[in-house]
Amino acid sequence: MSDQQYRVILAKLGLDGHDRGIKVVARILRDAGMEVIYLGLRQTTGSIIAAAEEEDADAIGLSMHNAGHLTLGPKMTASLNDARLDIPLIIGGIVPDEDIEELLESGVAAVLGPGASAEEVVSTVRDAISARDET
Amino acid sequence: MKSSKETIPQLFEAALSGERRSLGKLLTLVERGGETADDVAGLAHRKAGNTHVIGITGAPGSGKSTLTGRLLELFSQTGHNSAVLAVDPSSPLTGGAILGDRIRMDDLTDENSFIRSMATRGHSGGLALAVPAAIQLFDAVGYKPVIIETVGVGQVEVDVAGAADTTVVVVTPGMGDAVQANKAGLLEVADIFVVNKSDRPGANDARRDLDLMLDLGHISGLEEKTGYRPPIIMANSLEGTGSQEIIEAIENHANHLKSSGSIKVRQDQRTLMEIQNRVELLIGTTAKETLSTEFGKAMINAVLNRETSPAQAAKSIVNSLLND
């Protein structure tokens, strides 16, 4: 059991029904001792922000499988900035290598692809949270 | 550790002025327990005492969250700011949890409502402190009503839901026959019964079994003692049917509590339970510490050598605590 109980929001933004991956990630994080607040499908930036405030989330994970990441990723970071919420955003799913840089530049903390192992998923989330806490 | 620059009184002031993020942070502090949690709970307690607490409980998958979402929607339409505390179990092995109650409520909520998910975190004692503190926070900030949703398994969960002003027990068709309905436990704490998924076969049987159980309460004299017979409401929360009746039943029950004076009895009971839980936790913690002192080790050895009994050793340890 980890001494620090991380609370992570997992959601899919907009019209994207591929939720197999996000369910696997939810389970990986749960089994690593984190509390996952599972929002599931068809969320909006507004509903994610509201959940992040009410749940006092330590990180937000967005699952993207519809090639919308370059539109929705920056939109989400912009919404977080507007709300003055300093919470790391991690994007997982199908993101071509050449798009990763652009996402990171827009303020996304990390990008996880289909090949990521359970350990990688957990350490990426942990690192993103501790990087934010150090600033 | 997430460093928040605001002090607790600052966060509390901000939460009182409607800042949701500050309320979210305070709830986290309450959840973590310890001195900080006590400070927050102390601030909240002074301002609390104005809300109506609704407990919603029932077996996993009976539709509690969906029903809660429907109630939020109706409360919001009538201008109420309601808050939900949705409690889900933590894994006893890893301490992790998947908190999936929001997913059933999100479509139906707006800025009038506040939903917070809480994991049981494996320590029932902690939950028994964190839940009342969280309710008092919502209360202090002005949420009316406050809904607490828990799975109806485990004594703490039943206690927590049973400590509400109005306890709604959700059952589904196929939960068992009339003998099950007469067993002591969850069904006894109900102020309102909801037969959810009422479109399913067996819904009327479930209703009849509950009705028969309540009839027996009539014969045994329980009903006369309380002056109240819990209503049974048929609902289909996916469709939203029955929700309005549930709200009316909650209002009726609240009125009954006021007119019969039992609201005072319930609140006294709740306060007593909260103090008792805290006393037990404090003594329990001190007792555990004592076990690792020289005196404690000597006691353990005496029991191991059959010089004294476990019961005698326990009494000696408690006496040593009281004499300190």
Q: Bigger pLDDT: B6 or A70?
A: A70
Q: Bigger pLDDT: B145 or B102?
A: B145
Lowest mean pLDDT among A49-53, B174-178, B250-254, B283-287: B174-178
Peptide bond into B145 cis (omega under 30): yes
Mean pLDDT of A115-131: 95
Whole-angstrom Cα distance, residue B149 to residue A47? 21
Is the CB of A43 less than 8 angstroms away from the CB of B20?
Answer: no
Residues of A in contact with B2 (CB under 8 A): 58, 133
Query: Would you state the structure tokens that stand for residue B77, as one six-digit string?
Result: 């339409």
In this prediction, residue A2 has a pLDDT band, given cuts at 50, 70 and 90, of: very low
pLDDT of residue B184: 56
Instruction: Give the distance from residue A123's alpha carbon to the nearest chain B alpha carbon, in angstroms.
Output: 15
Count residue pairs from A and B with Cβ separation < 8 A.
79
Instruction: Give the distance from residue A97's alpha carbon to the nearest chain B alpha carbon, in angstroms.
Output: 30
Is the CB of A30 less than 8 angstroms away from the CB of B98?
Answer: yes
Is the CB of B98 less than 8 angstroms away from the CB of A26?
Answer: yes
pLDDT of residue B85: 94
In this prediction, residue B278 has a pLDDT band, given cuts at 50, 70 and 90, of: confident
Return the amino acid letter for A99: D
pLDDT at B108 over 60: yes
Whole-angstrom Cα distance, residue A116 to residue A111? 10
- Half-sphere CA count of B183, side-chain side, radius 13 A: 7
Lowest mean pLDDT among B10-19, B56-65, B192-201: B56-65
Is the CB of B32 less than 8 angstroms away from the CB of A5?
Answer: yes
Mean pLDDT (chain B) is 87
pLDDT of residue B1: 41
Q: How is chain A split into domains, by residue range?
A: 7-134
Q: Bigger pLDDT: B234 or B106?
A: B234
pLDDT at A3 over 50: no
Residues of A in contact with B141 (CB under 8 A): none
pLDDT at B124 over 70: no
pLDDT at B244 over 90: yes
In this prediction, residue A35 has a pLDDT band, given cuts at 50, 70 and 90, of: very high
Neighbours of B316 (CB within 10 A): 16
pLDDT of residue B266: 85
Is the CB of B106 less than 8 angstroms away from the CB of A47?
Answer: yes
Residues of B in contact with A7 (CB under 8 A): 28
Buried/exposed B301-315: b ≥16 CB within 10 Å, e otherwise: eebeeeebeeeebee
Lowest mean pLDDT among A33-37, B49-53, B89-93, B158-162: B158-162
Whole-angstrom Cα distance, residue A97 to residue B139? 49
pLDDT at B253 over 80: yes
Mutation target vs B (from A3, A4, A5; most B CBs, 10 A cutoff): A5
- Please give the residue of chain B at the shortest CA–CA distance from A35: B97
Residues of A in contact with B90 (CB under 8 A): 35
pLDDT at B42 over 50: yes
Burial of B107 (0-12, 13-18, 19+ CB in 10 A): exposed
Nearest by CB: A30 against B97, B115, B121: B97
| Domains identified in chain B and CATH numbers | 50-272 (3.40.50.300), 278-323 (no CATH)
pLDDT at A117 over 90: yes
Dihedral class, residue B33 (left if φ above 0, else alpha if ψ from -120 to 50, else beta)? left
Enter the ipTM.
0.91
Residues of A in contact with B114 (CB under 8 A): 54
Burial of A115 (0-12, 13-18, 19+ CB in 10 A): exposed
In this prediction, residue B213 has a pLDDT band, given cuts at 50, 70 and 90, of: confident
pLDDT at B6 over 90: no
Q: Bigger pLDDT: B33 or B159?
A: B33
Q: Are residues B34 and B127 in contact, defined by beta-carbon separation less than 8 angstroms?
A: no
pLDDT of residue A21: 93
Whole-angstrom Cα distance, residue B100 to residue A10? 10
In this prediction, residue A1 has a pLDDT band, given cuts at 50, 70 and 90, of: very low
Whole-angstrom Cα distance, residue A26 to residue A90? 13
Nearest by CB: A56 against B3, B24, B95: B24
Return the CATH superfamily for domain A7-134.
Answer: Cobalamin-binding domain (3.40.50.280)
Nearest by CB: B96 against A35, A39, A56: A35
**What residues contact residue A8 under an 8 Å CB cut-off, 6+ apart?**
A29, A34, A35, A36, A37, A57, A58, A59, A60, A61, A125
In this prediction, residue B129 has a pLDDT band, given cuts at 50, 70 and 90, of: confident
Nearest by CB: A36 against B2, B23, B98: B98
Is the CB of A39 less than 8 angstroms away from the CB of B97?
Answer: no
pLDDT of residue B232: 96
Highest-scoring range by mean pLDDT, B129-138, B223-232, B277-286: B129-138
Instruction: Give the distance from residue B117's alpha carbon to the nearest chain A alpha carbon, in angstroms.
Output: 7
